Amino acid sequence: MHKKITPKKIIVIGGDGFCGWPTALHLSNLGHRVTIVDNLSRRWIDTQLGANSLTPIATVEDRLTAWTEATGKVIHFECIDAAREFDRLAALLASIRPDTVIHFGEQRAAPYSMKTVTEKRYTVDNNISATHNLLAAVTALGLDPHIVHLGTMGVYGYDDAGLEIPEGYLSVYVPGDDKRIVQRDILYPTNPGSVYHLTKSMDQLLFQFYAKNDLLRITDLHQGIVWGTQTDETRLDERLINRFDYDGDYGTVLNRFLMQAVVGHPLTVHGSGGQTRAFIHIQDTVKCIALAVANPPRPEGRVAILNQMTECHTVRDLAMLIAKLSDARVAFVSNPRNEAAENDLRVSNRTFLDLGLNPITLEAGLLEETRDIAAKYAHRCIPEMIPCVSTWTDRQQPGVVDMGDVA
C-alpha cells in the first residue's frame, strides 16, 4: 500500500520510453492523474535501424488497456511531437493545466547522435525544440507547473577534476577589481562528450533563463546510466513490460553486457575499459522522479539540480563482474568514441539520499535481471545489431570483436 498523497495532474512527455513508461505507471499507481505525450519516435527509430527491444513491448494502446485491467486506473495518451507541434502541445497544456510536467521527450542515444550529419541535426533540432517549446508554451499560457527534466551526468564531462561533482552548481572564488575575493555559484562548467550530451548542456541554459526570467519552477535531474528493466508496476502484466535496448546505438553498457553474456557474445569493452561512469537501477529512477515531483523548488529564480545516480564503476570492472557470474569472455575492442581512456568519478547524490532513497545495488539486482530478462528473451536478440559501429570521428574504429581481442 502506498501512503496517501495529494493527487496531481501530471503530463509525462516521452512517457512511452524506457524511463518514461515505468515512471508514468508508478505515478498513476500513487494516485496521480497521468497523461502521456509521446510521438513514438523511439519505436520508429528501431524500425529505421532494424533493431528491437530484447523484451517484447506491446503497442501503446495495449499497454494502457493492460494497465487499466491490472489496476482499475486510467492513463491518457496523446500522440504529439513536442518539438514540431507547438500548437497541439500548448493546447494540451491549456486544457489540462498540469501541476507537473515531466520531460523525457528527447533523442537520448550518444552513438545515434554521432552517426552522420542527419542524426546530429535531428538530435539538436528535436531536443532543443522540444525543451524550448515546453518552456515557451508554459510561459505564454501563464501556467505554473513544476517542470521536471531528465538531464544527464554527461553534462559535467568525465575528467577527473579531483573533486566530488556537486549538484549542478560550483562555488567559485575569483579576485575582483579591488583584489577582494568574490564568490559566485555558477553552473558546473559543461564538457559534453557527444552531440546528444551537448543538447543536454544547452537545455541547462534554457532552464537557467526561464527560471530567472519567468520564475518557472524547474528541477533538472542529472541522471547516470540506467540499467535493469522491470519495476514493481511493469511486472504486473506481461503487456506492461519495459523496453530493454541492447543494440550498438541505444543499448547502454550494463544491459548490453548482460545480454551478451547470455547469448554467448564476448563482452565488448571499449578500449581499456577504464572509463568510470555513474549508474542507477530503473526502479530507483522511478522512485527519484516521484521524490522530485513531491518536492518542487520554490519560484526563486534558480533551477534545482539533483544528481540522480547511485554507484560509480569502471566499464572494465563491470565486465569482469559479469564474466565471473556467467563465464562470459571479455573482448577489449577498439573504442568507437572519442573519450578519455581512464577517468575517476566521484558524485554527490546527497539530496535523494536525504529524501529517503534506498538504492538497489548492482549486487542485489544483477541475478534477477539476467534470469528474468536477458536469459528469458535471448532468443529475440538480432546478432547483427550488437556491434557499436557509430564512430565519433574518422579517427575512431567501430567496436567490433576480433577473436584476438578476447581475454
Q: Among ligand NAD, ligand USQ, none, what does residue 307 contact (CB within 5–8 Å per kind)? A: none
Q: Is residue 328 involved in binding ligand NAD (CB under 6 A)?
A: no
Q: Which of 79, 10, 74 is nearest to 38 (CA)?
A: 79
Q: Among ligand NAD, ligand USQ, none, what does residue 81 contact (CB within 5–8 Å per kind)? A: ligand NAD
Binders of ligand NAD in range 10-29 (CB under 6 A): 13-14, 16-20
- Where does this chain touch ligand NAD (CB under 6 A) — which range of 31-39, 208-216, 341-349, 370-378? 31-39
Q: Is residue 256 involved in binding ligand USQ (CB under 6 A)?
A: yes
- Where does this chain touch ligand USQ (CB under 6 A) — which range of 64-72, 212-220, 232-240, 249-257? 249-257
Q: Which is nearer to ligand NAD, 122 or 332 (CB)?
A: 122
217 in Cβ contact with 296 (< 8 Å): yes
User: Active-site residue numbers?
Assistant: 152, 196, 200
- Where does this chain touch ligand NAD (CB under 6 A) — which range of 77-85, 264-272, 295-303, 375-383? 77-85
321: left (phi over 0), alpha (psi -120 to 50) or beta: alpha
Binders of ligand NAD in range 213-242 (CB under 6 A): 223, 225-226
Please give the full DSSP string across 18-42, using - where no structure is assigned. TTHHHHHHHHHHTT-EEEEE---HH
Q: Among ligand USQ, ligand NAD, none, what does residue 41 contact (CB within 5–8 Å per kind)? A: ligand NAD
Binders of ligand NAD in range 92-111 (CB under 6 A): 104-108
Q: To 5 degrees, how large is the angle CA 306–CA 310–CA 315?
A: 120
Instruction: Determine which residue in the list 125, 237, 317, 339 makes contact with ligand USQ, applying CB under 6 A.
Output: 339
Q: Which residues pair with 278 in a beta bridge?
A: 312
Q: Is residue 109 involved in binding ligand USQ (CB under 6 A)?
A: yes
3-state secondary structure of 88: helix
Q: Is residue 202 involved in binding ligand USQ (CB under 6 A)?
A: no
Q: How far apart are CA 83 and CA 149, in angstroms?
A: 15
Cβ of residue 221: shortest distance to ligand NAD, in angstroms?
A: 8
388 in Cβ contact with 398 (< 8 Å): yes
282 in Cβ contact with 360 (< 8 Å): no
Q: How far apart are CA 403 and CA 407, in angstroms?
A: 9
Instruction: Give Cα 286 distance to the centre of its chain.
Output: 11
Binders of ligand NAD in range 134-193 (CB under 6 A): 150, 152
Q: How far apart are CA 13 and CA 131, in angstroms?
A: 10
Q: In what order do the strands lie in the sheet with 311-314?
A: 225-227, 276-281, 311-314
Cβ of residue 280: shortest distance to ligand NAD, in angstroms?
A: 8
Q: Among ligand USQ, ligand NAD, none, what does residue 256 contact (CB within 5–8 Å per kind)? A: ligand USQ
The one-letter amino acid code at 212 reads: K
Output the CA–CA distances (angstroms, integers) from residue 308 to 103, 142, 154, 177, 220, in the order listed: 15, 30, 12, 38, 10
Cβ of residue 222: shortest distance to ligand USQ, in angstroms?
A: 8
Binders of ligand USQ in range 298-337 (CB under 6 A): 315, 337
Q: Among ligand USQ, ligand NAD, none, what does residue 40 contact (CB within 5–8 Å per kind)? A: ligand NAD
Q: Is residue 152 involved in binding ligand USQ (CB under 6 A)?
A: yes
- Where does this chain touch ligand USQ (CB under 6 A) — which range of 23-31, 124-132, 212-220, 269-277? 269-277
What sign results for the dihedral spanned by CA atoms 69, 75, 80, 83? negative
Helices 315-326 and 362-369, axial angle in degrees (round to 10): 50
Cell 575582483 belongs to which residue? 176
Counting DSSP H helices and E strands in the chain, the numbers are 12, 14
Instruction: Determine which residue in the list 40, 91, 128, 340 makes contact with ligand NAD, applying CB under 6 A.
Output: 40
Instruction: Determine which residue in the list 8, 26, 33, 42 makes contact with ligand NAD, applying CB under 6 A.
Output: 42
Cβ of residue 407: shortest distance to ligand NAD, in angstroms?
A: 26
Q: How far apart are CA 53 and CA 358, in angstroms?
A: 29
Size of the site for ligand USQ (CB under 6 A): 21
Which positions lie near ligand NAD, rule CB under 6 A?
Answer: 13-14, 16-20, 37-42, 81-83, 104-108, 126, 130, 150, 152, 223, 225-226, 252
Which positions lie near ligand USQ, rule CB under 6 A?
Answer: 108-110, 152-154, 224-225, 252-253, 256, 268-270, 275, 277-278, 315, 337, 339, 388
